[in-house]
Amino acid sequence: LRCPVALMLNGTRPVPSAGGGHLPSYVLCSYIMIIGALDFGVIIPSLWDYTQELGGDKEFLGYVISAFMFSRMLVQPAVGALTDRVGFKKIYLCTLAVQFTGEICYAFVPRFAACRWWILISRMMCGLGSANGDLGYAYMGRTLPKDKVTSQQLVLTASRSIGTVLGPAASVLIADVAINF
C-alpha cells in the first residue's frame, strides 16, 4: 500500500509523483502550519500577565519572547538536515512532542511551578518544537511536480496566515477559562 500520509511519514525520501497525489499529506502539513501560528497568537497575549504574576518585569518578558524565536533559529537548520537523513516522520513527531510538552508546561506554570524561569523554559521548548514549521514546504517541493509547487506552497502560506488570524480570536475565547484541580 502506498498511503500518501505514509509516504510522507515513512522515513524515506519522497519522490515527485506525476499527479502530485499526496493530498492527505499536504492537508496534514497545512494543519501543522495552522496550529503553529495559532499557538503564537494564543500565547503572546497571556505572557505579560504570567510574567507579572510570577514576579517578572518587562526585561524578563523580552527574554521570554526572544527565547522562542532564538531556540527555533538555532535548531531549524539541524531539523532540516535530520529530515534529509532520517525522514519526515521521526522529525515531525519529535518536534511536535517537544512543542506539545512546552505548551503543557506553559499552561500549568502558575499552578505547579510558580517560577518565572519555567515560563522561559517552556517557551524555549515551544521554539525548539516549532522548528518543524518549514518542513511542509520542503516536503511539497520534493513530492510535487514543478508546475504545482508554487500553488500548493501558497496554500501552506495561507494556512499559516489563517492560524495567525485565528490565534488572537482563540485567545479572546479562552481568556476566562480557568483550569482547576
Confidence category of residue 178, pLDDT binned at 50, 70, 90:
low
Closest by Cα among 131, 135, 130 to 153: 135
Confidence category of residue 181, pLDDT binned at 50, 70, 90:
very low
Phi, psi of 17 (to 5 degrees): -105, 155
User: What is the mean pLDDT of the segment spanning 104-125?
Assistant: 85
Return d(Cα 35, Cα 97) in angstroms, integer.
Answer: 13
Question: What's the distance, Cα to Cα, between the start and end of the chain in Å?
Answer: 46
User: What is the mean pLDDT of the segment spanning 50-67?
Assistant: 90
User: What is the mean pLDDT of the segment spanning 18-24?
Assistant: 59
User: What is the mean pLDDT of the segment spanning 19-38?
Assistant: 78
* 3-state SS assignment for residue 177: coil
Confidence category of residue 64, pLDDT binned at 50, 70, 90:
very high
Confidence category of residue 59, pLDDT binned at 50, 70, 90:
very high
Confidence category of residue 177, pLDDT binned at 50, 70, 90:
low
Q: Is the pLDDT of residue 139 over 90?
A: no
Closest by Cα among 122, 134, 119, 128 to 70: 128
